[in-house]
Amino acid sequence: MLKVVSINFAYAEKEILQNISFEVKKGEHLGIIGESGCGKSTLLKAIYGLLDLDSGKIIFKKKKVLGPAYNLVPGVSNMKYLAQEEQLMPFTSVAENITTHLSRQFPKENKERLAVLLEVVDMQAYAHKKVKLLSGGQKQRVALAQVLAKKPEFLLLDEPFNFIDNFRKNRLRRRLFAYLRRENITCLFATHDATDILGFSDRVLVVKEGELLSDKHPKELIENPPNFYTASLLSEVNTIDATNFSASKKGHYLIYPQEIQLSKNGFLQAKVVKNYYNGFNYFVESVLENSEEKIYFYSENVMEQGEICKLTIAKLLLEKRFRSA
C-alpha cells in the first residue's frame, strides 16, 4: 500500500531523514519509535506530502506522493494525518466538531457513527461541551475522532496519546486499535512510549538521528535488541561489561532488569544502593563488586541499603545477548 524508497530530507543543510526505506501492507499497523528530534514527525509529514524531499520517493497506492512544490493543497487522498497540534473549532461542541466531517446525506447513519466515534475516544459524556472548555488531552481525543470520521484508508498519527492521562490512555489505546483493525485501516504512528509499540504494532521502525536502524516485529526486538539504543527505547536495560564473566572477553551484555534473579548461588555479587517501589515490587539499583558498575533488577521485598546480594542470569540468555565491543 505504501513504499518509502531511499528518502532524504534536510532543513537548512541539517540532515533530518537519511536514506530511509520500508513498505507497509494494507491493514498493517507500524509503530515508529526513537528519541525526541530523531525525525519521527518529519517522516510522517513527508509521507503525507507536506515536505519536498531532497531525494528518494514515496509511493502510495501506486501513485507518487508529491510535496507542496507540486500541490497547491498538500496532502494525499484517502490518507489522513493527525499532528500533535490539533485543529479544532473551539466555540462549537465536541459532537459538532466530529459531525462536520460526516456526510450530510445520511443523518441517521451519522448519528450512529457519531456514537461509535465518541465511544472509541471515550468522550460520550462531553458530546455537548464546547471544545474551548476541554483539557489538552480531551482536545486530542476529539481531534482523533475527527480524523476517524473522514474514513481514512491510511492513518498517520504523531504521538496520539501524548497529552492523555494514563488511566484513560490504556483504554483509549485498546479501543482505537481495535477499531482500526475492525475497519481495516492501515496505521503508521510515531510514539516515544514503548507500551504503544509492544502491544499494538505489527512492526516497529526504530529511528535514530534520521536513520532507520531496525524494522522488525516488536517481540523480536524486545527479545533480541540489536543495540543499547533500541533496547533502552523499549524498556529499562542493563549493559553489563563482559569482563565480569571473563577477563578475556571484550564487549557487553544487554540484560533487562526482570531477567536478573536473586540467588544464593548467583555468580554476580552486588551491593544495594537504593530501592524504588513501583506498586507491585521493588526496582533495585545496585553496583557490582569490584567494577562499581551499576546493575538494576527487581525484588519482591525491599532490600537494605548496603546489603550484599548475589545475582544470576540464565546462560542461554547471556549467549543470546552478547554484543562485541
Q: What is the pLDDT of residues 150-187, one digit of tens each?
A: 889 999 999 888 878 878 888 999 999 999 999 999 99
249-263 pLDDT per residue, tens? 889 999 999 999 999
pLDDT at 85 > cutoff 80: no
Reported as a pLDDT band with limits 50, 70 and 90, residue 72 is confident
Query: What nine digits make up the cell of 186?
Result: 492501515
Closest CA to 68 of 51, 54, 56: 51
pLDDT at residue 174 in the model: 92
Q: How many helices (H) and strands (E) does the chain have?
A: 9, 18
Q: Is the pLDDT of residue 272 over 70?
A: yes
Q: How do beta strands 154-158 and 79-82 pair?
A: parallel
Asked whether residue 107 carries a pLDDT value surpassing 80, the answer given is no
**Residue 204 pLDDT class (50, 70, 90 cuts):** very high
State yes or no: pLDDT of 276 exceeds 90.
yes
CA distance 262 to 140: 44
Q: Which residues of 178-193 are buried (b: 16+ CB within 10 A; e: fewer)?
A: ebbeeeebbbbbbbbe
Extract the C-alpha cell encoding 27: 491493514
Distance CA 201, CA 187 (A): 9
Residue 20 has, within 13 A of its CA and on its CB side, a CA count of 34
According to the model, what pLDDT value does residue 227 have? 92
All domains in the chain, ordered by first residue? 2-228 (3.40.50.300), 236-324 (2.40.50.140)
User: Is the confidence at residue 289, as pLDDT, over 70?
Assistant: yes
- State residue 206's pLDDT score: 96
Local confidence band at 86 (pLDDT 50, 70, 90 cut-offs): low
- DSSP states along 27-55: T-EEEEE-STTSSHHHHHHHHHT-S--SE
Closest Cα partner for 44 from 153, 205, 183, 182? 205
**Beta bridge partner(s), residue 20:** 7
Say what the pLDDT of residue 247 is: 74
Question: What confidence score (pLDDT) does residue 84 get?
Answer: 62
Distance in angstroms between the alpha carbons of the first and the last residue of the chain:
40
Check pLDDT > 70 for residue 268.
Answer: yes
The pLDDT score that the predictor gives to residue 306 is 93
How does the average pLDDT of the chain come out, rounded?
91
Q: What is the mean pLDDT of residues 92-96?
A: 93
Q: How many CA atoms lie within 13 A of 293 on its CB side?
A: 14
Residue in this structure with the C-alpha cell 459531525, named with its chain if needed: 99
Segment 285-294 mean pLDDT: 89
- CB-based contacts of 259, cutoff 8 Å, min separation 6: 313, 314, 317
**What percentage of the chain has pLDDT greater than the value 90?**
70
Strand partners, 35: none
Question: What pLDDT score was predicted for residue 249?
Answer: 84
How confident is the model at residue 168, as a pLDDT? 84
Distance, CA of 142 to CA of 15 (rounded, Å): 34
* Per-residue pLDDT reduced to its tens digit, 132-160: 999 888 998 999 999 998 889 999 999 88
Alpha carbon distance 144, 197 (integer Å): 18
What are the helix (H) ranges across the chain? 40-48, 94-99, 107-120, 136-149, 166-182, 194-200, 218-223, 228-234, 315-321
- The confidence score (pLDDT) of residue 324 equals 87
Burial of 108 (0-12, 13-18, 19+ CB in 10 A): exposed
Report pLDDT for 261. Answer: 95
Q: Is the pLDDT of residue 232 over 90?
A: yes
